[in-house]
């Protein structure tokens, strides 16, 4: 009796497709960084290669430590390069014995090769292997089983600027990383497998951009582990949202954590008189997004309203300066965003007007914003009793009015304080 096509298809799904969906695309059970700190992991795949020494020298110049996921056959060819990685204070993870997809191996081949490679790499580096990232992130059942058996933590990524593509430019790689990185994020770059000139050139602006956003690059082990799967999935979504809508982080010259992010869109609210002009649907508009991990630091603390108000005031000053110097936002008439916070007096003092949100959109946004507060507020779902009475509103302010309202120190002017 021959093997039916249905049986073959079922085996392929169970052995390859389903594990890859769960462990690669959904990253179930993988190691994730927490947003409780202000760190981002820089990781390098496919090496060591001809560019590794130059990348190590640049990382040393920038005072950055990183994690290198090495291919074993490359590591065995270049033990001196491996010694340089370890001696520089960087950490080594395994990227397989060869750079080959697990789709091209049976599960028992994958498990056998992975277990042997981990043991051999530990001898090369003189350290036990803690981290594993499969080539292309591909998994089969053998990948999962071997990692469980060896105690390896699977590490994938949250930010992938595709620096390996031939036509990538350093500024594009750096812009992608700085725009998409959130606290606890894991960036995948490459030091082997081809020409890495663009990757090398991107390192300095990339690190500068992260630090301008108060994010410090480092090794995977420098991150705290995120144990909430739900919160990690939210960050996964937030990263892709930021990339799709080209959301920019507003840096703070004073070194404060960046509270605000913005993206350029078209205004979709009602006609609104602002600053002697009228804001109309379709006009250029800068949509404000809060960095929830920063705002969470103000929740559940004494005087949180006053501290948050002052921090937002400084951030609005930084936002105006950002709008004035970035060509992308030229012609923007107003800024604003959706909130359910009920600080009416503070909103008025900051120069915003409130527009109630109606219809089904009101309830959708209420649920969305309540979910955010439950995740990031220190009281979590215990805060729901207060949140259920709140309603989403659109806050809008004209750019000229904000520019006049804030002093060089980013605080409301004396006239605004008196009026409050």
Pair (218, 268) in one structural domain:
no
Mean pLDDT of 268-296: 85
pLDDT-based confidence at residue 286 (cuts at 50, 70, 90): very high
Encode burial over 259-295: b for 16+ CB neighbours within 10 A, e otherwise. Answer: bbbbbbeebebeebebbeeebeeebebbbbbbbbbbb
| Euclidean distance between CA atoms 34 and 225, whole angstroms | 5
> Same domain, yes or no, for 209 and 149?
yes
Q: What is the CATH number of the domain that holds 309?
A: 3.40.630
Number of domains the chain contains: 2
Q: Compute how many other C-beta atoms are within 10 angstroms of the C-beta atom of residue 347.
A: 19
The model's pTM is 0.80
> Which range, of 66-70, 151-155, 180-184, averages the lowest pLDDT?
180-184
pLDDT at 295: 62
Write out pLDDT tens, residues 345-397.
667 778 888 888 888 888 888 887 777 777 776 666 666 666 667 778 899 99
**What's the confidence (pLDDT) of residue 5?**
83
219 with 252, same domain: the answer is no
Rounded to whole angstroms, the Cα distance separating 51 from 160 reads: 19
**Is residue 310 in some structural domain?**
yes
What Cα–Cα distance (Å) separates residue 113 from each residue in 99, 116, 214?
12, 5, 41
Domain termination site, one of 157, 192, 227: 227
Cβ neighbours around 17 below 10 Å, total: 14
Residue 3 placed within a domain:
no
Residue 40 falls inside a structural domain: yes
Same domain, 313 and 394: yes
Both 206 and 320 in one domain: the answer is no
364 in the same domain as 330: yes
349 close to 397: Cβ distance less than 8 angstroms: no
Q: Please say if the pLDDT value at position 304 is more than 70.
A: no
Is 91 in the same domain as 194?
yes
pLDDT at 411 over 70: no
| pLDDT value of residue 415 | 38
Residues 274 and 346 in one domain: yes
Whole-number pLDDT of residue 281: 94
Range(s) of the domain holding residue 92 = 9-227
Task: Give the CA angle between residues 236, 239, 245 to the nearest 5°.
Answer: 135
Query: In this structure, are 260 and 148 located in the same domain?
Result: no
Alpha-carbon span 185 to 314, nearest angstrom: 26
Q: Which residues are tagged catalytic?
A: 45, 190
Regarding whether 249 and 222 lie in a shared domain, the answer is no
pLDDT band at 11 (very low <50, low <70, confident <90, very high): confident
Closest C-alpha to 396, from 357, 338, 346: 338
What mean pLDDT is predicted for residues 144-152? 95
For residue 202, the domain's CATH number is: 3.20.20.370
Same domain, 249 and 196: no
In tens, the pLDDT along 50-103 reads 999 999 999 999 999 999 999 999 999 999 999 999 999 999 999 999 999 999
Distance of alpha carbon 210 from alpha carbon 147, whole angstroms: 32
For 204, counting Cβ atoms within 10 Å of its Cβ (0-12 exposed, 13-18 middle, 19+ buried), the class is middle
Q: In this predicted model, which residue has the larger pLDDT, 317 or 87?
A: 87
Co-location of 191 and 308 in the same domain: no
238 within a domain of the structure (yes/no): no
Of the residues 227, 258, 288, the one at which a domain ends: 227
Q: Select from 174, 193, 227 the last residue of a domain.
A: 227
Name 75's Cβ contacts closer than 8 Å, sequence gap at least 6: 48, 81, 82, 121, 124
Query: Which token pair is 83?
Result: 């010694």
Compare 389 and 418 and report the one with higher pLDDT. 389
């Amino acid at each position: 009796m021959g093997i039916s096509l249905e049986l073959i298809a079922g085996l392929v799904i169970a052995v390859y497709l389903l594990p890859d969906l769960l462990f690669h695309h959904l990253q179930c059970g993988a190691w994730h960084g927490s947003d409780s700190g202000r760190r981002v992991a820089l990781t390098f795949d496919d090496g060591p290669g001809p560019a590794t020494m130059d990348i190590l020298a640049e990382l040393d110049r920038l005072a950055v430590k990183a994690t290198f996921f090495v291919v074993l056959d490359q590591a065995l060819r270049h033990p001196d390069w491996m010694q340089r990685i370890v001696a520089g204070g960087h950490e080594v993870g395994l990227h397989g014995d060869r750079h080959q997809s697990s789709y091209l191996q049976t599960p028992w081949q994958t498990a056998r090769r992975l277990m042997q490679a981990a043991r051999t790499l530990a001898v090369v580096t003189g350290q036990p292997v803690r981290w594993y990232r499969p080539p292309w992130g591909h998994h089969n059942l053998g990948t999962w089983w071997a990692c469980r058996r060896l105690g390896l933590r699977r590490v994938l990524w949250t930010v992938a600027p595709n620096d390996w593509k031939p036509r990538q430019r350093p500024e594009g790689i750096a812009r992608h990383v700085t725009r998409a990185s959130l606290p606890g994020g894991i960036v995948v770059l490459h030091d082997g497998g081809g020409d890495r000139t663009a990757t090398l050139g991107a390192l300095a602006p990339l690190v500068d951009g992260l630090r301008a956003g108060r994010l410090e690059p480092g090794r995977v082990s420098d991150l705290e582990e995120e144990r909430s799967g739900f919160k990690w999935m939210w960050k996964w979504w937030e990263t892709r949202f930021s990339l799709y809508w080209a959301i920019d982080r507003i840096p703070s010259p004073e070194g404060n954590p960046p509270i605000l992010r913005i993206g350029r869109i078209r205004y979709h609210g009602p006609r609104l008189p602002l600053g002697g002009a009228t804001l109309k649907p379709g006009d250029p508009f800068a949509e404000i997004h809060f960095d929830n991990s920063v705002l969470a630091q103000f929740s559940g603390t004494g005087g949180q309203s006053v501290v948050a108000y002052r921090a937002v005031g400084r951030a609005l000053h930084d936002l105006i300066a950002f709008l004035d110097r970035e060509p992308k936002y030229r012609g923007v008439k107003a800024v604003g965003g959706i909130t359910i916070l009920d600080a009416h007096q503070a909103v008025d003092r900051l120069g915003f007007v409130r527009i109630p949100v109606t219809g089904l959109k009101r309830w959708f946004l209420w649920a969305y914003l309540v979910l955010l507060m439950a995740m990031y507020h220190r009281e979590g779902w215990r805060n729901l009793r207060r949140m259920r009475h709140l309603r989403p509103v659109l806050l809008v302010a004209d750019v000229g009015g904000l520019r006049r309202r804030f002093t060089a120190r980013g605080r409301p002017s004396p006239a605004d304080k008196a009026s409050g």
